[in-house]
Amino acid sequence: MRKPFLLAALAMVLASACCHAGDIAATPGTVSTFAKIPAPGQPEGIAIDPRDGSVWSGSNKARSKAVIWHHAADGTLLHTYEVMGHSEKAIHAINGIALDGQGRVYALDYHGARAIRLDPRTGAQEVYATFADLPLCLSGRRPCEPGLLDRPAWPNWPTFDAQGNLYVSDLNQATIWKVPPGGGRARIWYQGADLASIYSLNGMQFDAQGRLNVMYTLSTRLSQFLRGVVYRIPVNEDGSAGERSTVGTACIGDGLTIGRSGRLYLPCSQPLLNQLQVMDPDTGAVLASYPSAAVQKQLEIPMDAPASAAFRGTHLLVTNHALFTQDPAHFAILKLEVGEEGLPLFYPTIDTPVSTRTPEAAR
């Protein structure tokens, strides 16, 4: 008579252990639509406001207006902000997005190679940082960019440290930039001659040990043909970059985010996969790929060249970039259950206020 009671009690204990208060248990790999994205579409960059769960993302649509979207926690579109000074002739627009402790938005604009800071309370915008167009190292000039092709800066992914420094990956120039608290001209924090590639450094996040994990999107090594690599760079006591090490090889990745377990979640931007891979931080092994082919076929909006991802509870919100299909019906933010919470990001307090200029185009 006691056996059913014990089994029931055990089941209740296991159920309570699997989830945090307020969470609803869901199977890892489950995908749903969080929000459909309006024109100009092609969302990239995503940040979650920890105060209210609202979501910030941007459009990377070529030759279009650069806009930043603000969605409520339930997916309702609250505001659309047009980025000041962006040229509609630019071949890219907004790439990465981060938030500070005051809820201000830092968006990386390809045009002008700059970080724009937006204060949602007033709509005011300003240029927070700029990133230099470096000459090739072959020219003999310093500082310089490695590689054989001279290309402009492409600020791609921002992440803060606890002190308020903003680290920004440069997809073109194989560089990680560092911007001091309060903004200004960025300086080179890390470069690697072997990282020169048509698509170089991308998604980044600090792990629990304070090391910067970074996605190298497209490796040039034959042994890693059509693959991406996750690297780990420690921060020295003086703030400089330490010696880089390899975590593992994965898909042609775009963004990167880290779970509390230390696992790395990597959106795969290559069209034949259309998945997000989960990497073991110790072995570099790919532990899982979401969604499965069976789930993908059943989705209202299929995962299509996912670009950026951010944790909210035990799920990821993923920008459906649809870079290769360019299908407007696929421009969306998807919700992907992964079964764990994310490692907390840094949301530092930045003392400098945003200038009072409010662009006429903000709405």
| Contact residues for 303 (Cβ-Cβ < 8 A; gap 6+) | 31, 274, 275, 276, 291, 296, 318, 320, 334
Instruction: Say which DSSP state 305 is in.
Output: S
Structure tokens belonging to residue 317: 């919100």
Residue 5's pLDDT is what? Answer: 34
- The pLDDT, as a whole number, for residue 355 is 66
Task: Please tell me the pTM assigned to this model.
Answer: 0.91
CB 33 within 8 A of CB 71: no
What contacts 75, CB < 8 A, 6 or more positions away?
Answer: 34, 35, 55, 333
DSSP class of residue 346 equals: P
Which three-class secondary structure state does DSSP give residue 37? Answer: coil
Structural domains for the chain: 28-337 (2.120.10.30)
In one-letter notation, the amino acid at residue 43 is P
Q: How far is CA 201 from the centre of its chain?
A: 12
What string of pLDDT tens digits covers the 363 residues of the chain?
433 333 333 333 333 333 333 334 479 999 999 999 999 999 999 999 999 999 999 999 999 999 999 999 999 999 999 999 999 999 999 999 999 999 999 999 999 999 999 999 999 999 999 999 999 999 999 999 998 999 999 999 999 999 999 999 999 999 999 999 999 989 999 999 999 999 999 999 999 999 999 999 999 998 888 899 999 999 999 999 999 999 999 999 999 999 999 999 999 988 888 999 999 999 999 999 999 999 999 999 999 999 999 999 999 999 999 999 999 999 999 999 999 999 999 999 998 888 644 333 333
- Where helices occur in 19-62 by DSSP H, the ranges are none
- Report the pLDDT value the prediction gives residue 227, as an integer from 0 to 100: 94
> For 359, what's the count of Cα atoms within 13 Å in the CB-facing half-sphere?
20
- Which residues on neighbouring strands pair with residue 175, listed in sequence order? 170, 191
Cα(67)–Cα(202) distance, integer angstroms: 21
**Predicted pLDDT at 255:** 97
User: Both tokens of residue 117?
Assistant: 């800071």
* Per-residue pLDDT, 270: 82
Please tell me the distance from the alpha carbon of residue 167 to that of residue 284, in angstroms, as a whole number.
24
Cα 264 from Cα 166, distance rounded (Å):
21
